[in-house]
A and B are shown apart, each in its own frame.
Chain A
Amino acid sequence: MEGLRKVAIAGLLAALSGGVLAQQPVKVGFVMFLSGPAASPFGVPAKNSADFIVDELNAGKGPAPYGKVGFGGSKIEMVAIDEAGPTTSVVTEYRNLVQRSNVDLVIGYISSGSCLAIAPVAEELKKLTNFFDCGTPRIFEDASYKYVFRTSPTATMDSVGAALFVKEAKSGVKSIAGLNQNYAWGQDSWGDFEASMKVLVPGVEVKTSQMPKLFAGQYNAEISSLLGAGADVIHSSFWDGDLEALILQASPRGLMDKSMTILTTGETAMHKLAAQIPDGTVLGARGPFGPYAPDNAYNRWFAKGFEARFQAPPNYASYQMAQAILGVKAAWEKAMAANGGKRPTNEEVGAALENMTFEGPGGQVRIAIGKGHQAIMETAYGMTKRVGGKLTMVSVKRYPAEMVNPPEGVKSGDWIKSGFKK
């Protein structure tokens, strides 16, 4: 009898503690550049996005199916840290987040270098980690992970989409040139664009490929070289201050008027440098974000709320952060539903996130490649046109996810070289 009573008390305590645990806040580590050159175009808009989404979700104000408070009824507690610094310190800070701050999961990382370094550590620490922005396709092409996800598409999509747009918008294109930063992002972006163009337009001539160092700042010689080359199309994946300096220096020299110029991350500068970007410049937003975002309930809620709070429209980094949080929320609640309403473990949330499809402010996100850990989306490109003093996007072309992303199990480079075989 005594034993039965002990079992009953233990069961009651377990049930109570389970209930208490379910209501404990979910501690989420957010990592993005809060200082340095990448803070302004990416880190701060992403942090603002996280602040907005977390506050809205904690208040239960998300549109259906995101209306439940926080993650499955538990409020989200933000722990935001700076991504700036050498890779070793980024890894150390990640370990601190997991082992000292005891976060339940991590959403973050803008730099591809950070993502490549963090992925194996996340796996070692068995901590669910969702990369929200970094672009390198190598993460899931060169390795397999259980705890690592990315709810944004890879840089391959940007380059393939750019090449498809160029082929359509510039009929009879015969030559291309590039201006990209001399590190992984710039080299991969140019490599994929060049390879895609060679597949789409056999015989296309590469006039010049300029690769100045990151944050070089002065591009007079590069602009002269590009002007002199006179290529039909110029591709640049410049971002941040480099992108802005390029626009400031190239615009008065007529570079973007002479050659069709495609800036794959140009959306981050379109509001700040609207007066300097000439009509006909092709801007990318690394997916269906910003001016290319669909008119759905999630985008109306996100874009209007964000702009009202921060007096600036969200850029693509803001969108990527928003969909990273919403994706984890959807998986968290799916895992809870599967385990009878208990607080899910990292493994359960990961299992729910694998191969999941969800909707966000940028439209449908399908975690369809990278063994169910890497998202694909449609993408879009368009040309600038000043209307009433405001920069708008015209001639917008949209490309379905399958058209601009490799199929499951195929590396991006091989897929492009194969002629985009499905």
Chain B
Amino acid sequence: MSQIGPVLVDGVIYSAWLFIAAVGLTLVYGVMKILNVTHGSFYALGAYAGASLTGAWLAKGYPPMLSYAVLLGGALLAALVVAPAIERGLLRFMYAKDEVVILLVTYALFLILEDAIKLIWGVNPYFVAEPYALLGSFVVGGLKYPTYNLILVGLALALAAGLAWVLRGTRAGKLLSAVIHDPEMSRALGVNVDRFYLVTFTFGCFLAALGGSFTSPTVSVVPGLGVDVIVLSFAVVVIGGLGSLPGAALGAVIVGLVRSVSVHYLPQVELFVIYSVMALVLAIRPRGLFGLAEPRRI
């Protein structure tokens, strides 16, 4: 029987990873009403950019401690190069269309980006293991954990706090709330709605790329990396309520802890436990835990 300490630590680490991977999806949906399937592609792009840039950085003999900044730079690069091109070049022409049409457009883009990734990086895996072991480890319940996991937890907490502050405590956040609730009226009052859409989409994609980039030291970066992430992210944001930031956070915590408990105590049910939770939540609250009757909320 596992001790409770490692169960909680594993749950928190997985929750942090899930939140970083999923929060951009709910942000873009909350503001733009776009269920962005390319979210998975940006996760993969971030992983590839992070792994290849950090690999090159370390190969040149530059300070390993700065490799975390390179991972961040990789995510920024992936999002800033690709996301604005998609939003300005394609999505802005679709805003008047039905949500399902936009969903299909982002799905098509997802397939295109999957092939583009293969054209750029090929099919061989990329590894950048150094940042994972660089910071040493800590011990909980007699079990060793790489300290790198605390970076993920810290990143998730910083993202949650930062987003909450921007949305509720800044002028830009208040203007964004206005755009969310009534884009036409906001436009009439002089708010540059197009710019809010561009920035939100790019930032949402950056969050996905950030998740991929900071995951790359722990995995083999291979084609198809983003497929499972989009499914898991969707489960998390649906549990929390599509478009709700607190919902995404709570959804990630619930999924992370439930999965950890099942792995430690009842591994036979691990495969379907996440989706069972999703089904249960939807049966009781069809809009998710934080989903309200309003059409848009963040």
Give A251 to B137 CA distance when docked, in angstroms.
12
The answer to whether A40 touches B123, judged by C-beta atoms less than 8 angstroms apart, is yes
* In the complex, A222 has a CB within 8 A of chain B: yes
Give A215 to B231 CA distance when docked, in angstroms.
12
> What residues of chain B lie closer than 8 Å to A248, measured between beta carbons?
127, 129, 132, 217-220
* In the complex, B173 has a CB within 8 A of chain A: no
* In the complex, A35 has a CB within 8 A of chain B: yes
> What residues of chain B lie closer than 8 Å to A218, measured between beta carbons?
14, 17, 215, 218-219
> What residues of chain B lie closer than 8 Å to A224, measured between beta carbons?
2, 6-7, 9-10, 143, 263-264
Give A275 to B127 CA distance when docked, in angstroms.
11
- Which residues of A from 218 to 242 have beta carbons under 8 Å from B? 218, 220-222, 224-225, 227-228, 240-241
Pick the interface stretch among B158-166, B187-195, B239-247, B266-274. B266-274
Give A39 to B155 CA distance when docked, in angstroms.
33
Pick the interface stretch among A164-172, A192-200, A205-213, A391-399. A205-213
**Contact check: which of A37, A221, A241, A272 meets B260 at CB < 8 Å?**
A221
**Nearest CB of A to B138, in Å:** 11
Interface string of B3-26 (1 = CB under 8 A from A): 100110111011001000000000
Give A362 to B90 CA distance when docked, in angstroms.
53
* In the complex, A276 has a CB within 8 A of chain B: yes
Give A110 to B180 CA distance when docked, in angstroms.
49
* In the complex, A85 has a CB within 8 A of chain B: no
The answer to whether A217 touches B3, judged by C-beta atoms less than 8 angstroms apart, is no
Give A350 to B264 CA distance when docked, in angstroms.
50
Give A216 to B143 CA distance when docked, in angstroms.
22
> What residues of chain B lie closer than 8 Å to A209, measured between beta carbons?
267
Q: Who on chain A is nearest to B2 by CB?
A: A228
In the complex with contacts A39-B123, A40-B123, A225-B263 CB distance below 8 A: yes
- Which residues of A from 11 to 51 have beta carbons under 8 Å from B? 34-37, 39-40, 43-44
* In the complex, B196 has a CB within 8 A of chain A: no
In the complex with contacts A40-B125, A228-B6, A272-B127, A221-B263 CB distance below 8 A: yes
- Which residues of A from 242 to 258 have beta carbons under 8 Å from B? 244-245, 248-249, 251-254
Q: Who on chain B is nearest to A273 by CB?
A: B127
* In the complex, B168 has a CB within 8 A of chain A: no
The answer to whether B263 touches A36, judged by C-beta atoms less than 8 angstroms apart, is no
Chain B CB within 10 Å, residue with most, of A40, A212, A272:
A40
**Nearest CB of A to B182, in Å:** 40
**Nearest CB of A to B222, in Å:** 5
In the complex with contacts A210-B263, A253-B144, A253-B145, A221-B132 CB distance below 8 A: no
In the complex with contacts A44-B124, A253-B145, A245-B220 CB distance below 8 A: yes
> What residues of chain B lie closer than 8 Å to A217, measured between beta carbons?
215, 219, 225, 228
**Nearest CB of B to A233, in Å:** 18
Give A212 to B268 CA distance when docked, in angstroms.
9
* In the complex, B286 has a CB within 8 A of chain A: no
> What residues of chain B lie closer than 8 Å to A96, measured between beta carbons?
none
Q: Who on chain B is nearest to A209 by CB?
A: B267
The answer to whether B124 touches A252, judged by C-beta atoms less than 8 angstroms apart, is no
Q: Who on chain B is nearest to A183 by CB?
A: B271
**Nearest CB of A to B64, in Å:** 14
Chain A CB within 10 Å, residue with most, of B133, B220, B223:
B220
Give A272 to B145 CA distance when docked, in angstroms.
24
The answer to whether B123 touches A35, judged by C-beta atoms less than 8 angstroms apart, is yes
Give A253 to B228 CA distance when docked, in angstroms.
25
**Nearest CB of A to B109, in Å:** 18
Chain B CB within 10 Å, residue with most, of A37, A209, A254:
A37
> What residues of chain B lie closer than 8 Å to A251, measured between beta carbons?
133
* In the complex, A182 has a CB within 8 A of chain B: yes
- Which residues of B from 121 to 147 have beta carbons under 8 Å from A? 123-125, 127, 129, 132-133, 137, 141-146
* In the complex, B174 has a CB within 8 A of chain A: no
The answer to whether A240 touches B3, judged by C-beta atoms less than 8 angstroms apart, is no
**Contact check: which of B11, B125, B264 meets A225 at CB < 8 Å?**
B264
Give A220 to B133 CA distance when docked, in angstroms.
14
> What residues of chain A lie closer than 8 Å to B145, measured between beta carbons?
220, 253
Give A36 to B145 CA distance when docked, in angstroms.
31
**Contact check: which of A39, A225, A228 meets B267 at CB < 8 Å?**
A225
In the complex with contacts A220-B13, A221-B10, A248-B129, A241-B263 CB distance below 8 A: no
**Nearest CB of A to B50, in Å:** 14
* In the complex, B149 has a CB within 8 A of chain A: yes
* In the complex, B92 has a CB within 8 A of chain A: no
In the complex with contacts A218-B14, A252-B146, A253-B143, A241-B125 CB distance below 8 A: yes
Give A241 to B216 CA distance when docked, in angstroms.
12
| 14 pairs of residues in contact across A and B, judged by CB atoms under 8 Å | A40-B222, A212-B263, A217-B225, A218-B218, A220-B14, A221-B7, A224-B6, A224-B10, A224-B264, A240-B222, A241-B219, A241-B222, A249-B132, A253-B143
Give the A-binding residues of B (Cβ under 8 A). Answer: 2-3, 6-7, 9-11, 13-14, 17, 118, 123-125, 127, 129, 132-133, 137, 141-146, 149, 215, 217-220, 222-225, 227-228, 259-260, 263-264, 267-268, 270-271
Complex A-B, nearest 5 residue pairs according to Cβ-Cβ distance, in ascending order: A244-B220, A221-B10, A221-B263, A241-B220, A39-B123
Besides A228-B264, A251-B133, 6 more A-B contacts (Cβ < 8 Å) are A36-B224, A37-B223, A224-B9, A228-B6, A245-B219, A248-B218
